[in-house]
Structure 1
């Protein structure tokens, strides 16, 4: 459906004005310092060999899904830093739909997401991607060490310069500008989308930002803190992976059907559950399912918010229901996810030997103090008034079983925007909508819920598309009340659809209608408003929300 709509938007007048091979030598730029440029034509299904450091750190090859002109630019971002970027221009037998779409980075950046470039260009968008200002794997922060310009590039500069340059490439190739510009990203890419809305409201007309790594400094603090909570394998505080399975089963027993009416392994709204971890404590029993009092405290601490020494909230708690995948990823086994530790060591302390076990309140303070120096990489500005005045539309979503970035943090950002702008939910609805995706892990990592809605290449198999909804809202004024996702059996499209579900925009809660209706049918669910939603941030009493 999305493909046919976007193709219909293309016209015969959108052919290239210059051949691809001649494009690079003819390009001129304003306010963009291009160090090098090349352009090459590729047919659908051909092989693109990735050169240089991008090949070493990220991908060695990629495969376009349409005929296209590939433009490769190296652009100066400061006297000592530069950005590697690519623009893919539908060409030949592939009509351009007249639009630009910017793609994301992940983790600490360093890589162009070529799968997303190929996916969105197959929808006839001219697409742009960049390496976030440095080449590395997504968890390698070594390029940030003693290199504040690289941190600023990661924060915002590489993304902004890339879209400015891409718009000029498009205009010169097609002899007309893009009619609309969009951005789609998740995780770090979600943060980049919010940063664009906050600081560069004219860059994109529509933004789809998922599982955003906003409040980036405190996210790094929060992730690193699990090491101090859970200890190591021989520590009395530690739980085995099997014990985390039992914790997950108890979470479902207390928070699934008793609260949302359906025993499906999905917590529709984990923020309203008052989980009692003490139910797993069994005194002196040797049963492996039993937790000691010390281990029960560990579980409670895992689900606690992060505060500074004055009692101010820094970051919300891990979502109930996310604990199983988090334990499988090693988050509770005496290690720290590389993104967090590498950012703190290389960017906050400028010390590659920093030991995460030394994490303290001083770390939290230092991260805050370096935020301005880092180009406000926190991306926590709640004033979106310039984006609203520019006519922009922002769709934000978050998986509520996300083990890597607390799902409630995006809800917290929505509340932050409402408070900063003094706006009601009806006023925010005009340009900014937030969707809680039940049972979805981190971005494309799956989960028990209906998590595929065309948001990235790895979630393209369902019949519903949030990208289509973003286009319709931006260009036709059709505002999306829900995002509808698909869940395939075992996350394998060849095994067929297990169910589909519409996820309501906040402050509405996806609610089962009951009366024996089949919960796998979309119409068995409705959206009910949370009347006191302004009070439903981290730390709120669940029974109030």
Structure 2
């Protein structure tokens, strides 16, 4: 593969196409605030390699607007709180692949840039985080990750599209936003950031692993790294509960009852009766307590169902006996996102990845999904997507900082996998070195990227920040900025639980392997009652 580089922008081209020359900086050395007229004329005259501008619009702020032409599985409308220039464009990454991007360039620019990630297998632009970051005066870019929609069909016989999804879209966005802000504002960025959760979390770590120069600060939630094994684990859990028959061995109502029983068995392990299992690794659940009997005939487990539950709460090992993936964590909700796994159908992302990527077989049903499917994905590692390198020396050496966070009640990606990765980095680099640039915050009771019964709001993503204080103690994004720009590493983050616009509880979240402990006589609903201990 040939790599062609002009200025800050690098494109991987299978068959290089003619590159257009760069224009001089649009504003020269000017520091004047951009105007609406400048926004529209800038888009009309923008001339970048392999790039087509779709539209340019100046938005005056606090505006909600529709997104005509958006895939039906993606956002159909969004809001822009800040006054900004909205620039939409398409970049040809190769002759057979392209990435659609949106750049939001605020009139009041902080000098910071950000790239925002994606979720699942999706090709949906993350408008919530475009709005969130631009409201903090970031010039921010998001993309469709090289394809449209939330399914895997666009990957069929399309290796370059898979490569965009695996890493190239984010890397290209990083280069693009830096070049465009230099032209639009007449000066380069001061610091470059990345924000994402789930697949977005994996994308952030992929950048730290393979493109350490791209970002100064990375905020990566619930990372979907060890990607092939994650999807394999999800598919196998689906199989345990009857997939792909469409008829779950344990139905939704009974699973909910199991969830209640898990809390009753393990809630008090941490000494606090709050409906939260702080440390699910300490919970050894006994489904036998719910076995049917002469006196218990409703919402109870048959021996077969109890065995299904027991298998769900066990790690998965490969055909060679080595650990493939940690277990589903006790305390994770069996409703909501978990229905993607336990509905009786094969977890959709696992099926799509096997069908359209691993096997390239549109008739594949998943009826034989198992360890051999994971082995096939490992052998292929499409687009080098695994994202499991544990030497982050290059990122650390150049001064990069990464903050990761993970809900301890995550039903889609167990937090134990984030702990496993962190421990691997420590084994590779040493604890003292890792502490200089990498923090992992565990959030008890929080679900996937947010939600759940725990204190799930701490400024991590756009839809989960309204109503919390805008300071580095309560907002993990601001804590990352403070670490990158002032050298002050966060020692704790205060999470907030808001119900019906009222603060129900707060508690501190601590850097792993530390944990939050309730002070004797303290009220678990108050942040001051908790402290971090090693």
TM-score by length of 1: 0.87
What is the aligned residue count? Answer: 499
Q: After alignment, is 456-465 or 467-476 more displaced?
A: 456-465
Three-state SS of the structure 1 residue aligned to 2:255 is helix
Query: What's the RMSD between the two structures over aligned residues?
Result: 2.2
* Aligned partner of 1:73 among 71, 85, 89: 89
Structure 1 unaligned residues grouped into runs of 5+: 1-11, 530-545
Quote the Cα distance in structure 1 between the aligned partners of 2:423 and 2:476. 22
Quote the Cα distance in structure 2 between the aligned partners of 1:256 and 1:183. 35
* Aligned partner of 1:498 among 487, 495, 504: 504
1:126 equivalent in structure 2: 139
Quote the Cα distance in structure 2 between the aligned partners of 1:235 and 1:28. 51
Three-state SS of the structure 2 residue aligned to 1:242 is helix
Structure 2 unaligned residues grouped into runs of 5+: 1-29
Matches within 5 A, 1:49-448: 49-52=66-69, 54-91=70-107, 95-136=108-149, 138=150, 140-231=151-242, 238-257=249-268, 259-283=269-293, 285-325=295-335, 329-371=339-381, 374-421=382-429, 423-424=430-431, 426-444=432-450, 446-448=451-453
1:19 equivalent in structure 2: 38
**Contact 1:238 1:333 survives alignment (8 Å):** no
Three-state SS of the structure 2 residue aligned to 1:110 is coil
Quote the Cα distance in structure 1 between the aligned partners of 2:56 and 2:127. 17
Shift of 1:250: 2.1
2:465 equivalent in structure 1: 460
**Contact 1:244 1:327 survives alignment (8 Å):** no
Quote the Cα distance in structure 2 between the aligned partners of 1:237 and 1:196. 39
Quote the Cα distance in structure 2 between the aligned partners of 1:518 and 1:230. 39
TM-score by length of 2: 0.89
Shift of 1:14: 5.7
Q: Deviations over 1:169-204 (max 9, x none)?
A: 001111111101111110111111111111111111
Quote the Cα distance in structure 2 between the aligned partners of 1:176 and 1:236. 59
**Contact 2:178 2:188 survives alignment (8 Å):** yes
1:527 equivalent in structure 2: 532
Quote the Cα distance in structure 2 between the aligned partners of 1:232 and 1:379. 28
Shift of 1:104: 1.6
Quote the Cα distance in structure 2 between the aligned partners of 1:250 and 1:47. 44
Q: Deviations over 1:381-422 (max 9, x none)?
A: 11111100110000011111011111111111111211233x
Shift of 1:285: 4.9
**Change over 3 Å in CA distance of 1:250–1:49 after alignment to 2:** closer
Quote the Cα distance in structure 1 between the aligned partners of 2:68 and 2:189. 29
2:26 equivalent in structure 1: none
Quote the Cα distance in structure 2 between the aligned partners of 1:313 and 1:34. 44
Shift of 1:46: 3.7
Q: Deviations over 1:254-289 (max 9, x none)?
A: 2111x1111111111111122222222244555224
**Contact 2:256 2:335 survives alignment (8 Å):** no
